[in-house]
């Protein structure tokens, strides 16, 4: 199959490129830069110029493909609402290009949209609230109603592995700058996690085993890692104290990251495993923190 992939040069997307090529697929990767084009060609993919605001480029990329995987998202949290609305428009545009063709569309969402305080699975749906990322799932459902074979891959707060520049590196930087590694209260809030290589395999399987429109998958390797355990490894590796703080103190310590540091999400990927035969094989988050490149890279 010839697959159009957005986010092809990103942390997860670059792993998907290799996963698809190794499985015998051709990859047409979206890029907006010469460096992106060079990296795609070096990886064995083809480059398609454009970006998330160029809807015509997205339509032409989708039209030239046998299926689409959409992983690109602007993670500038100062424009989170705007970026989430853009993602909804991108999904609608890709769906428009694929409507009536039976070609699969795989889009990306977040497990953090789901209800808190209990184990959630693929059958749970996002709850209305302040998180604007729900726009992605709303757009996916609208596309599915038009007959597009769209599947949603929900990823956890931490997609980890070499090259990670998201939540865990943010925690490490904060701890290094403040001289302490902090958790709130007893530190029993949980983060689900998945290794980027396991996530890449999930996207491939979701594409190959194209399901009815509206199907949800969970990319969950660790169902819920205690935040305290993450903080303790960070403290140990940086040789700094590990400290429990009150909610108010932790909010000051983490600043704009406080919402994410306080997340308590417990998620299952059992249904995904049963449907796709997807079973994570890479190291879990704590093992990756202990033995990976997180501290040598910072």
Nearest to 129 by CA among 150, 152, 110, 155: 110
Rounded Cα gap, residues 181 and 183, in angstroms: 7
Rounded Cα gap, residues 84 and 86, in angstroms: 5
Contacts of 77 (CB under 8 A, 6+ apart): 256
Bridge partner residues of 183 (DSSP): 244
Q: For residue 297, what pLDDT is reported? A: 55
Rounded Cα gap, residues 150 and 49, in angstroms: 24
Q: What is the mean pLDDT of each run of 10 residues along the chain (298 residues)?
A: 97 97 98 96 97 96 97 85 94 96 96 91 88 93 96 96 92 96 97 97 95 94 97 96 97 92 94 97 96 77
User: Which H helix or E strand runs over 242?
Assistant: strand 242-245
2-159+193-221+268-281 is classed CATH 3.40.50.720: yes
User: Which H helix or E strand runs over 47?
Assistant: strand 46-49
Q: For residue 75, what pLDDT is reported? A: 79
User: Whole-model pTM?
Assistant: 0.94
Q: To 10 degrees, the CA torsion angle through 119, 125, 216, 53?
A: -130
Establish how many alpha carbons lie within 13 A of residue 62's alpha carbon, considering only the half-sphere containing its beta carbon.
29
21 DSSP 8-state letter: H
Domain ranges of the chain: 2-159+193-221+268-281, 160-191+224-261
Alpha carbon 269 to its chain's center: 14
Integer distance in angstroms from the first to the last C-alpha of the chain?
39
């Amino acid at each position: 199959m010839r697959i159009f992939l957005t986010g092809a040069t990103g942390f997860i997307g670059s792993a998907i490129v290799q996963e698809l090529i190794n499985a015998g697929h051709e990859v047409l990767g979206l890029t907006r830069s010469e460096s992106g084009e060079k990296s795609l060609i070096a990886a064995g993919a083809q480059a398609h110029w454009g970006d998330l605001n160029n809807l015509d480029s997205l339509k032409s990329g989708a039209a030239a493909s046998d299926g689409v995987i959409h992983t690109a998202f602007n993670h500038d949290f100062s424009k989170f609402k705007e970026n989430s609305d853009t993602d909804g428009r991108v999904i609608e545009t890709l769906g428009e290009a694929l409507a009536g063709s039976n070609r699969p569309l795989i889009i990306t969402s977040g497990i953090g949209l789901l209800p808190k305080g209990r184990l959630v699975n693929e059958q749970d749906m996002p709850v209305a609230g302040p998180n604007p990322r729900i726009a992605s799932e709303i757009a996916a459902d609208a596309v599915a109603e038009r007959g597009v074979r769209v599947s949603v891959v929900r990823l956890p707060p931490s997609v980890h592995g070499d090259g990670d520049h998201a939540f865990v590196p943010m925690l490490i930087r904060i701890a290094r700058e403040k001289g302490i590694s902090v958790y709130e209260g007893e530190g029993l809030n949980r983060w689900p996690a998945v290794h980027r290589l396991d996530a890449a395999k999930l996207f491939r399987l979701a594409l190959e085993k194209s399901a009815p429109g509206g199907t949800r998958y969970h990319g969950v390797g660790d169902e819920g890692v205690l935040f305290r355990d993450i903080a303790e490894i960070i403290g140990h590796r940086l040789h700094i104290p590990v400290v429990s703080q009150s909610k108010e103190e932790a909010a000051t310590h983490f600043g704009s990251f406080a919402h994410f540091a306080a997340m308590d999400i417990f998620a299952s990927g059992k249904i995904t495993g049963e449907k796709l035969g997807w079973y994570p094989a890479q190291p879990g988050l704590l093992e990756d923190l202990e033995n990976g490149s997180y501290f040598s890279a910072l």
